[in-house]
Amino acid sequence: MIIIQFNDRDISNIIKLSENNIEEDYEYIFKGIDKKHDYRHYLNEDNKLDIIRILVQIDSKAIKDFSIGEIYENFTTSKEKKLLGQVYTPKNIVEYMVSITINDKDIINNPYFKIIDPACGGGYFLIEAYKKIKQIMYENYDKIIIRNRETERKLNEDGIHKFIIENNIWGVDIDEFAIYMTKFSLIIKDDITNINTNIFKLDPLIDENDIYSQTFDLVLCNPPYIGHKRIDKDYRKVLEKLYSEVYSDKGDISYCFFKKGYQLLKNDGKLFYITSRYFQESQSGEGLRKFINENLNVNKIIDFYGENPFKGIGISPVMIECTKNKSENNIINVSKGSEMFDISQKELLNSGWVLLSEKEKKLLDKIDKSKSIKLGEICTFNQGIITGHDKAFIVSKEEIEDEQLEKNLIKPWIKNSDVERFKLKDIKKYIIYTDKIDIEENYPNSISHVEQYKDKLTKRRECIKGTRKWYELQWGRNEDLFKKDKIVFPYKANRNKFTIVREEVCSSADIYFVTIKNEFKHRFNLEYLAAFLNSSIFEYYLKCVAKKLNDKLYEYYPNKMMELNIIVQHDTKYVENLVKDIEYCYRINNYVQVEENIESIDKWFYDIYKLSREEIDIIENVTNTEGRL
């Protein structure tokens, strides 16, 4: 156990430090902190001096209610936070999570109620837990003593402050300076004394320590968010071995913290995490979903559903509270955006969690089970081009003319922002399709243009392996794909944006191409397919099951779309003609008629699916938030 000894003189050195001796004495305040880690830069000398300057201005009484972790957060750079996956939890969320997981009964019945945060950072959860337990102990001291006679002597000798820090609070983090700040923030909450803290500098996922021989009543955590691309390969292999049930090559490190939390819990202990909501729907999260379903009762899910309470990061969170036991008919309380409802845990499928109210489930089931066929059966989905370095290959019309680039290599180029509902914006960019080059000498101008970027191009994975020539596209796809009649759509969008493209066009990898399989062309055509894909019914259908990335953005993942159904109809001429008319009206800028036709398409599909007014309202409450065009 690490022992940090603070006395009145130590605190005085911080609180009463004068401007004159800050420069000389600040190292004393930070002594024992090892800052030599090769994976990040810690606070520099100026940062540390600034921290001390802040501390000396805090009143000696006020410092007891002050979280030094807040100072640490403000002085840690965004680069450092990203490397460590640090996301700081807002105060109101910390207070809420502590308030519903620690109650009077817990502490009265068990004064040794043990809490751990396995990624404690600046100590926000632990400090709030300390405050909550301290309040409960002061208000219920007599009850605690009556029910726990053996605790009376310990409480009287140590005092509540020391008792809590030594017996109730545990924390682990990889960041040594954060650990130091957490210890300090806890110790200065009351009278200064010699205290044995349970706050450790460890890698919580792979380091061994005596702390892991214990079990805990409560695991509270905001796990670090580090995607697979930012994890060292050797470290990833270790995680895959230790956490194989929940973590695979494409997973997020936060998944491992669920298994670690489970391992740390007593039977009937509680785990309460705030983490990225993506695991609920993502392919990489399937192992984690299965692990939770098989090992934990989920009590509560609070899905922010795209809203982001965190500062400066693009992560939409979910709170999930679980108990370490399993019951056959567990019911989960769900808060999703502004909705609240209960669901059975049996509805949380390993393939993906879809959180819907009873009315929404009935509507989705009605849409899904109408006379239909899966999109994946009738269509092929293909991703656009991965150039490996867009600057080398993407050019403007002016560059084509000025550099006299060889015309038979030039193809129109679109990105996701060029695709709208039933409409493609005017082409402004082009790609040099270098995969068509057979002899370099025949294309001197295009080779000369691309050669400006040769250093970067040769470093592409495929070039290093020798499977691509330095001037070729990284993944140019089959050229015939771009010549076919097709529907294109962006991979990420706020609403459905599918448009028919009959001319040759290439695209970036953030666009997908949909073509109808030859054996189904006699039953389906692009106009009917575009009408269905752009309909409010399909938009609602997709948004119920798609991954929501933030408050407006959804992921239009082909594997997910291929599992969805399209209704089969014999007479579709009406909506086909509406789509053709929409395309014409866009060409003549008749947007009023476009809007009317889109509404007519929706009404036609509502009738086909035999939807009630209430069901239509449910759909349009979701789809009308983004506008129609």
| pLDDT greater than 90 at residue 109 | yes
Mean pLDDT of 420-438: 96
Residue 248's pLDDT band, with cuts at 50, 70 and 90, is: confident
| pLDDT greater than 90 at residue 183 | no
Higher pLDDT pick, 83 / 569: 569
Find the range with the poorest average confidence among 150-164, 177-191, 521-535, 565-579. 177-191
Among the listed residues 376, 391, 404, 426, the one whose alpha carbon sits nearest the alpha carbon of residue 508: 391
Cβ atoms within 10 Å of 292's Cβ, excluding its own = 24
Mean pLDDT of 210-231: 87
585-615 confidence digits (pLDDT tens): 999 999 999 999 999 999 999 999 999 999 9
Structure pTM? Answer: 0.80
pLDDT of residue 12: 41
| pLDDT greater than 90 at residue 96 | yes
| pLDDT greater than 90 at residue 430 | yes
pLDDT of residue 535: 96
Cβ atoms within 10 Å of 414's Cβ, excluding its own = 23
Calpha distance 495→598 (Å, rounded): 14
Residue 5's pLDDT band, with cuts at 50, 70 and 90, is: very low
- Which tokens is 50 given? 């600034």
Among the listed residues 388, 560, 537, 393, the one whose alpha carbon sits nearest the alpha carbon of residue 474: 388
Q: Which CATH superfamily is domain 85-360 in?
A: Vaccinia Virus protein VP39 (3.40.50.150)
pLDDT of residue 364: 92
Calpha distance 391→385 (Å, rounded): 14
Query: What's the mean per-residue pLDDT of the chain?
Result: 85
| pLDDT greater than 60 at residue 54 | no
Find the range with the poorest average confidence among 287-301, 315-329, 452-466, 545-559. 545-559
Higher pLDDT pick, 625 / 109: 109
pLDDT of residue 39: 30
Judge whether 278 and 268 are in contact, CB under 8 Å. no
φ/ψ (deg, to 5) at 82: -65, -40
| pLDDT greater than 70 at residue 21 | no
Long-range CB pairs of 233-242 (<8 Å, 24+ gap) are 235/206, 238/206, 239/205, 239/206, 242/205, 242/206
Residue 32's pLDDT band, with cuts at 50, 70 and 90, is: very low
Residue 13's pLDDT band, with cuts at 50, 70 and 90, is: very low
Mean pLDDT of 430-435: 97
DSSP for 339-391 reads EEEEEEGGGSBTTB-----HHHHHHHHHHHTSSEEEHHHHEEEEE-BB-S-HH
| pLDDT greater than 80 at residue 16 | no
Give the domain ranges of the chain.
85-360
